[in-house]
Amino acid sequence: MDKNTIIGFVLIAAVVIGFTLLNRPSAEEQARQKEQFTRDSIEYAQAREKEKDLANLKDTAKEAKPENIVDNFFTAPVQEKDSLNLGGDSLQSASQQTEQLITLENSKVKIVFSTKGGKMVSAQLKEYSRYNGDSLYLFNNDANFSLQLTNKQNKVLHTNELMFTPIKTDGDNSLIMRFSYSDNQHIDFLYKLADDDYMMKYDITLVGLQPMLDRNKADIIELHWGQKMRRQEKSVKNEQRYSHIYYKYVGGDVNELSSDKNEQLEVKEPAKWIAFKNQFFAPILIADDKIETALLDSKVLVTDESSEYLKVCEAAIYAPAQLDMNTGTVSAGFTYYLGPMSYSLLKKYDSHIDDANKQLDLDKLVPLGWTLFRWVNQYFVIPIFNLLRSTGISMGIVILLLTIIVKLVISPLTFKSFMSSAKMRVLRPQVEELSAKYPKQEQAMEKQQATMALYNKAGVNPMSGCIPLLLQMPILIALFQFFPNAIELRQQSFLWASDLSTYDAVIEWGTHIPLIGTHLSLFCILMTVTNIIYTKFNMEMTNTGQQQMPGMKWMMYLMPLIFLFMLNDYPSGLTYYYFLSLLITILLTIGFRYMIDEEKVLAKLEANKAKPKKKSGFMARLEEAQRIQQQQLREKNKTNSTKRKR
């Protein structure tokens, strides 16, 4: 490895270390964080204890008959001015009802509701299928939605155990699920599915119940949402990596829980929505106003290639309710999004909202990297990708054309880096002469100083080749984030790869092998072979005659193998892009080699030696540091020599 490349690695390491140090909190901040963490832990433990108490109440209620549950709830003593008609005939008929299933659907989604609990029991995305060809369900009898009510006697009622009566309106794709205790006391769940969209309105209305509700909770709607996150993709490991619980603060940022460990979190600030998101699909609960607070719980399941579920997600949601003082009606409004994680689609939901603080920011559910990398994807990669895709050509050709465009855009930086290496390469004979002049180990500092002086006279800056490499990094990292999260690649075939959104196994075996897994991906193998060829080619092209660090050559050859282990399970679209990118880089390097006349480059450098040079501040400080270090080394050698003579 030449000095130019070594400096590049040092710079990258310096940037990472510097960023870490700059963002490290002060001692005061750490103390405040520790105090806040302790306080949050106590509050959360109290909240969890309360949840356990409520769960025990629910378990006790389950053991009773449905009519006893409801009767105990509604017959709590009330003041005379709050007296209600508590007839029991409707209760008896409700408990004897048989569960019914009702369907709402449009061209994109089919949703099935049950009269038991008045809730959704399945949501099918009609335009998509699972990796094995089965129908794709966000949930299918593996989710639970329940409204929880607490009366003045602290008795709890869960609506998922009640039998509702469906009221379906013809023509507007809407459904009312009603639980009636009496003529003027009922719970309504109103569902209205939009035409040709993934959005469904969900409104909750409590009629005639407000006088008997706990006054401390009468203005709060408490919802419980639990779901087993279904596996939809071929690669369990890759899908698990991009599966999280997400939530967005009102007018604030989008945050997420861990994807690889169990985590519980209390969202204390008002939130706009909560999503149970896997790699390419998600159900999202969006509040019309806000979610005052929420308790989120994510549990990671032990998975293998035969697993059907990835995680268990739960949310206890507390949202403010609207109270009509004239009628005593309590209501709250929400919207469900039940659909794909398409950046372009999700971005459209904010197209009509001018106030940035009121935007939903659903597009941030598509992880496109940190701010800088996200900008590159938003304003460069995705527009070009969508333009190419709109032509109707094969997705493999789209990636090829995208790769060519990206390489052309960064080719000036590639050329500048190559030119810097070419200047150092034509000076290699003179550098080798200096190596022969200073052959001893103790003369290494003098050799380095003489080499820097040679570069300075010739007008060569060893750093000039590193800066273009660093400037290319945002695009390269942005593309690394883009391909695994582009739903447009899903189930799109190219050559031997049947699905560019997952791995293209050419060899599979049943036993899991550490690091490599259960398969070898062909595009990943091609990428690795091309990377090894490029490494050998690049080392020869950038050999400047300077002595390499011991073992660095083999380390450079080891890196492609490390990438093989890292990317073997990643989408074939990503490894196909890397394969093309490396291939085009080799071709560009060969082209640059033929374009550049190294004799003219050397003649120009020799001419530069005759010109008077003004040292830059950096070079002056570097030479002064080398001089001091050399002087200290001489004094140390002199001291050691004196001791040996004694």
Which of 43, 52, 33, 55 lies closest to 267 in space, CA to CA? 43
For position 626, what pLDDT does the model report?
63
Tell me: pLDDT of 91 over 50.
no
Average pLDDT, the chain: 82
For position 227, what pLDDT does the model report?
96
**Mean pLDDT of the region 449-464:** 73
With both helix axes pointing from N to C terminus, report the angle between 395-426 and 598-610 in degrees, rounded to the nearest 10. 40
Written in H, E and C, the secondary structure of 54-103 is HHHHHHHHHHCCHHHHHHHHHCCCCCHHHCCCCCCHHHHHHHCCCCCEEE
pLDDT tens readout for residues 584-629: 998 988 888 888 877 787 787 777 777 666 555 655 666 666 667 6
Which position has the higher pLDDT, 61 or 405? 405
**Mean pLDDT of the region 339-363:** 93
For position 591, what pLDDT does the model report?
86
Query: Of 219-228, 433-442, 555-564, which gets the smallest average pLDDT?
Result: 433-442
**Mean pLDDT of the region 332-361:** 94
Quote the CA–CA distance of 554 and 569 in Å, as a whole number: 25
Tell me: pLDDT of 409 over 70.
yes
Q: Rounded to 5 degrees, what are φ and ψ at 565?
A: -65, -40
- Pull the structure tokens for residue 260: 């690889």
Quote the CA–CA distance of 4 and 1 in Å, as a whole number: 8
Tell me: pLDDT of 166 over 60.
yes
**Mean pLDDT of the region 432-447:** 72
**Mean pLDDT of the region 418-442:** 76
Which of the residue ranges 333-337, 444-448, 469-473 has the most confident prediction, judged by mean pLDDT?
333-337
Confidence of residue 68 (pLDDT cuts 50, 70, 90): low
For position 359, what pLDDT does the model report?
93
Query: Of 288-292, 355-359, 427-431, which gets the smallest average pLDDT?
Result: 427-431
Per-domain residue ranges for the chain? 1-63, 64-367, 375-610
Q: Which listed CATH number (3.30.70.20, 1.10.287.610, 2.70.98.90, 2.60.40.10) goes with 64-367? A: 2.70.98.90
Extract long-range pairs of 297-301: CB within 8 Å, 24+ residues apart: 297/263, 297/264, 298/244, 298/245, 298/257, 298/258, 298/262, 298/263, 298/264, 299/262, 300/240, 300/259, 300/260, 300/261, 300/262
Tell me: pLDDT of 527 over 60.
yes
For position 58, what pLDDT does the model report?
43
- Pull the structure tokens for residue 618: 């950096």
List Cα–Cα distances, 164 to 93, 98, 212, 315, 615, in angstroms: 11, 10, 20, 23, 85
Written in H, E and C, the secondary structure of 353-383 is CCCHHHCCCHHHHCCCCCHHHHHHHHHHHHH
Which of 292, 287, 260, 288 lies closest to 274 in space, CA to CA? 287
For position 149, what pLDDT does the model report?
92
Confidence of residue 191 (pLDDT cuts 50, 70, 90): very high
Q: Contact at 8 Å (CB) between 278 and 243?
A: yes
Length of the chain: 646
